[in-house]
Amino acid sequence: MTEPGDTVAEVDWKAYEAEAIAAYEAASTLDELNDVNVRFLGRRADLPQSLRQVRDRETGKALNELRTRLEQAHQQAAQRIGSLGFAEALGESVDVTLPGERIPRGRLHPITQIRREVEDIFVGLGYEVVDGNEVETVEYIFDKLNMPEGHVTRSPLHTYYLSDDVVLRTETSASQVRTMEAKQPPVYMVSLGRVYRRDTPDPSHYPIFHQVEGLAVDKGITLADLKGTLQLLMRRLFGDERDVRLRTSFFPFTEPSVEADVSCFLCNQKGCRMCEYEGWIEVGGAGMVDPNVFQAVGYDPEEISGFAFGWGLERIFLLRHGLTDIRMLWQNDLRLLRQF
Ligand code: DAH
């Protein structure tokens, strides 16, 4: 065993090398390796000390070569310990040949899907997509839509009031008024979003749901344009063979008002449970914009005319998939959502 401080001549370099190599090989942690390094290559170890003192070339060359060998031994040991540490970090349970874990992929909610589908159809027809306000004033949701005082929809039993004159919108129709106030005809717009009503949940009601509102205002627009547009929409949504039927109805903001039906796509009008053996399924309200609404936004009803419609997106979705309960769309049950 060599002792630190021995002079060049006194050190048995063969033994020094053998001892060092054995120590490098035996080191099993980086701390141990560091100690070995200090002992054999550190500033005060025999080899570096001797290298500083040595005068003759032969010995210098031999000691330099020895130092290179020890440095290599150090490097190999460092690599060995490094990869040991890596294996430890991975843990023994990792089998890199096993297939990876499946990461579940998210998808859009069915209502978002149908919303985008309807938006795309109208964008394709040159309509503008407009955002509405979910929180709306009584003025815009009721007054300017020609709803008289005392109309049932104005009742707090029907509508969520946030204050005397601010409500959660009960329909998307106020977006018509805001759009017309903001621009001059021609107007071709759709507005899609949530609406709120004080309804008790049952298979066909839920206090929140979605509507698509459509409005076309131009010179010479007629009920035939409305029917053609709705027919196109129905065919895109329910298949090319579908027909649309308009029945008279009433809404304060349209005159005349209609209820639109689509021919039953389940039985092809032979009669089934879906269409209640009628051959026709009701999809939603529509009509020609009432002159009072035009006046409220400063349009001249003598100059222009227009049609409008407002349909529930949930209803369209349920019909399309033969589902019977709107509540399903709000329960976020992955077993259902995964299917769409
Ligand atoms: N806002 C009506 C509702 O929620 C639907 C509706 C009917 C909208 C006729 C319209 C329309 O724009 O012209 O029941």
Residues 89 and 115 in one domain: no
- Report the mean per-residue pLDDT for the chain: 92
Residue 47's pLDDT is 93
Asked if the structure places residue 258 within a domain, the reply is yes
Flag whether 101 is in a domain.
no
Rounded Cα distance between 247 and 254, Å, is 14
Mean pLDDT across 326-339: 92
Q: Mean of the pLDDT values across residues 155-173?
A: 97
Q: What is the domain range of residue 269?
A: 110-337
Cα gap 145→180, rounded to integer Å:
12
What are the C-alpha distances in Å from 295 to residues 80, 153, 180, 302? 86, 22, 11, 10
Per-residue pLDDT, averaged over 170-184, amounts to 97
In a domain, 185, yes or no: yes
CA dist 201 and 309 (Å) reads 24
> Both 183 and 52 in a single domain?
no
The tokens for 276 are 């209640």
Token pair, residue 320, equals 């399309």
Whether residue 307 is found in the same domain as residue 231: yes
For ligand 1, atom 10, which residue shows the shortest CA distance? 309
Is the pLDDT assigned to residue 3 strictly greater than 60?
no
- Three-state DSSP class for 307? strand
Confidence of residue 87 (pLDDT cuts 50, 70, 90): low
Note whether 209 and 312 are within 8 A (CB): yes
pLDDT of 88 above 70: no
Q: Give yes or no for residue 89 having a pLDDT over 70.
A: no
Q: Are residues 85 and 154 in the same domain?
A: no
Sort 252 into a burial class: Cβ within 10 Å, 0-12 / 13-18 / 19+.
middle
In this prediction, residue 206 has a pLDDT band, given cuts at 50, 70 and 90, of very high
User: Which pTM does this prediction carry?
Assistant: 0.71
Rounded percentage of the chain residues whose pLDDT exceeds 90:
77
Tell how far the Cα of 310 is from the centroid of ligand 1, in angstroms.
4
Query: Could you give the number of structural domains in the chain?
Result: 2
pLDDT band at 81; cut points 50, 70, 90: confident
DSSP calls for 38-67: HHHHSTTSHHHHHHHH--SHHHHHHHHHHH
Is residue 147 one of the residues assigned to a domain?
yes
Query: What is the C-alpha separation between 325 and 340, in angstroms, rounded?
Result: 16
H or E stretch including 285?
strand 280-289
Of the residues 253, 255, 290, which should be mutated to test ligand 1's pocket, given the most ligand atoms within 8 Å of the CB? 253
Q: Which of 188, 211, 251, 288 to mutate to test the pocket of ligand 1 (most atoms within 8 A of CB)?
A: 251
Distance 287 CA to ligand 1 centre (A): 8
Give the pLDDT score at 326.
94
Q: How far is the CA of 260 from the centre of ligand 1 (A)?
A: 11
**Closest residue CA from atom 7 of ligand 1:** 285
DSSP output for 120-155: HHHHHTTPEE----SEEEHHHHTGGGTPPTT-GGGS
Q: How far from chain centre, in Å, is Cα 286?
A: 32
The ligand 1 atom at the shortest distance from the C-alpha of residue 176 is: 12
Asked if residue 2 has pLDDT above 70, the reply is: no
CA angle 110, 112, 117 (to 5 degrees): 95
In a domain, 235, yes or no: yes
Sheet of strand 305-312: strand arrangement: 128-129, 187-196, 208-218, 305-312, 280-289, 254-263, 244-251
CB of 171 closer than 8 Å to CB of 253? no
Atom of ligand 1 nearest to the CA of 172: 1
Give 7-63 pLDDT, tens digit per residue: 666 889 999 999 999 999 999 888 999 999 999 999 899 999 998 888 888 888 999
- End-to-end, the C-alpha distance of the chain in Å comes to 78
pLDDT tens digits for range 238-269: 999 999 999 999 999 999 999 999 999 888 89
Name residues contacting ligand 1 (CB within 6 A): 171, 173, 213, 251, 254, 285-287, 308-310
Q: Whose CA is nearest to atom 2 of ligand 1?
A: 310
CA distances from 208 to 154, 167, 233 (A): 17, 13, 24
Report which protein residue has its CA nearest ligand 1's atom 12: 309
Q: How far apart are CA 215 and CA 172, in angstroms?
A: 11
- 75 and 120 in a single domain? The answer is no
Is 2 part of any domain? no
Query: Within 10 A of 312 (CB to CB), how many other CB atoms are there?
Result: 21
Residue nearest to atom 9 of ligand 1 (CA): 286
Q: Identify the pLDDT of residue 55.
A: 85
1 within a domain of the structure (yes/no): no
Q: Is the pLDDT of residue 4 over 80?
A: no
Average pLDDT over residues 150-156: 94
Are the beta carbons of 160 and 312 closer than 8 angstroms? no
CB 245 within 8 A of CB 280: yes
**CATH code, 320:** 3.30.930.10
Q: What is the Å distance from ligand 1's center to 103 Cα?
A: 43
Question: Is the per-residue pLDDT at 152 higher than 70?
Answer: yes
Q: Are residues 272 and 186 in the same domain?
A: yes
Question: CB neighbours of 218 closer than 8 A, spacing ≥ 6?
Answer: 185, 186, 187, 188, 304, 305, 306
What is the length of the chain? 340
